[in-house]
């Protein structure tokens, strides 16, 4: 995992500061900057470890993130400061005692599957809840960002997504909801009964909020975080995984989702 910065500088940008990288040493009374990397869902997933830094004694925890995540991640326990970093921008930061990156935190904190923090840790800000909050229903995300890793294997064809939309599911894609950032989307998700999502940031958001979420996982380039052959996730206790059996074939997955939705309604 630590090799990623040299192997993929396009998604793990270099950090050039005058203070040292944190390697797991005591943090009592110290400040730490956690610098952004990879995708939006990754930053949502790993923001949980701000609590672990506080438990190690950190006096001040700052998270770097994309602007669309700033107001959302500010709700995470243990986060004292959020630094919004626009895409393709160079940002000058003040001095902290040390720095790290999101995906370096689990290793330095000694996290295992058994000790993985799994309680909800993100919420919609109160002002967003008042504007966007709903009253139940099903939310759906079936398209990945075109620039994201493995997007072509994650996307569910529109015709199959339509089977869920025809049941009353609401699209959670920003171009359909009109939201401006993830704090807005969190307010929508908070009011739903269930989220169905491909492996993308919406799934991580729902899981981080403790919202029931059915996540559709592709066969090709299945992400490591979903482990193997499991239908549950130690990262998100409220998540159920639907795994694609054959590459590119989402039909049976949607069939299974529809059967479970029917059983859920009947129950």
The pLDDT of residue 111: 96
Q: Where are the domains of the chain?
A: 4-109, 126-266
Asked whether the beta carbons of 179 and 71 are under 8 A apart, the reply is no
| Multiple choice CATH, 126-266, 1.10.40.50, 3.30.1180.10, 3.40.50.2300, 3.40.50.2000 | 3.40.50.2000
The pLDDT of residue 89: 80
| Average pLDDT by stretches of 10, the chain with 267 residues | 91 92 96 95 97 97 97 98 90 94 97 93 94 89 85 94 96 96 97 97 98 97 94 97 96 98 89
DSSP per-residue string spanning the chain: -TTHHHH-TTTS-----SSPBP-S---TT-EEEEE--S-HHHHHHHGGGHHHHHHTT-SEEEEEE-GGGHHHHTTSTT--EEEE--TT--------SEEEEGGGHHHHHT--TTT---S------HHHHHHH---S-EEEE----TTSTTHHHHPPPHHHHHHHHTTT-EE--HHHH--SSHHHHHHHHHT-SEEEEESSHHHHHHHHTT--EEEEE-STT--GGG-SS-SB-SS-TTEEEEE-SSTT--HHHHHHHHHHHHHHHH-
Q: How far apart are CA 145 and CA 155, in angstroms?
A: 9
The pLDDT of residue 87: 84
The pLDDT of residue 267: 72
CB-based burial of residue 19 (10 Å sphere; 0-12 exposed, 13-18 middle, 19+ buried)? middle
The pTM of the whole model exceeds 0.85:
yes
The pLDDT of residue 88: 79
Question: In degrees to the nearest 10, what's the CA dihedral of 206, 46, 173, 183?
Answer: 80
194 Cβ contact list (under 8 Å, min separation 6) = 138, 139, 211, 212, 213, 214, 264
């Amino acid at each position: 995992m630590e090799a990623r910065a040299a192997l993929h500088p396009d998604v793990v940008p270099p950090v050039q500061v005058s203070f040292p990288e944190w390697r797991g040493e005591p943090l009592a009374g110290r400040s730490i900057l956690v610098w952004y990397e990879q995708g939006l869902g990754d930053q949502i997933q790993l923001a949980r470890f701000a609590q672990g830094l506080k438990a190690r004694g950190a006096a001040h925890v700052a998270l770097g993130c994309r602007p669309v995540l700033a107001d959302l991640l500010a709700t995470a326990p243990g986060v004292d400061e959020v630094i919004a970093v626009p895409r393709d921008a160079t940002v000058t930061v003040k001095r902290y005692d040390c720095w790290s990156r999101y995906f370096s935190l689990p290793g330095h904190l000694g996290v295992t599957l058994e000790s993985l923090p799994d309680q909800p840790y993100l919420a919609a800000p109160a002002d967003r809840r008042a504007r966007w909050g709903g009253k139940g229903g099903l939310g759906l995300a079936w398209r990945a960002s075109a620039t994201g890793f493995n997007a072509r294997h994650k996307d569910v064809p529109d015709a199959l997504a339509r089977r869920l939309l025809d049941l009353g599911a609401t699209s959670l894609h920003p171009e359909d909801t009109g939201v401006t950032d993830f704090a807005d989307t969190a307010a929508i998700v908070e009011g739903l009964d269930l989220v169905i999502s491909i492996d993308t940031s919406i799934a991580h958001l729902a899981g981080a909020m403790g919202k029931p979420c059915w996540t559709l996982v592709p066969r090709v380039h299945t992400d490591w975080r979903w482990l193997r052959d499991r239908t549950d996730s130690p990262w998100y206790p409220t998540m159920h995984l639907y795994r694609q059996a054959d590459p590119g074939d989402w039909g049976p997955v949607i069939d299974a989702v529809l059967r479970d939705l029917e059983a859920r309604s009947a129950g």
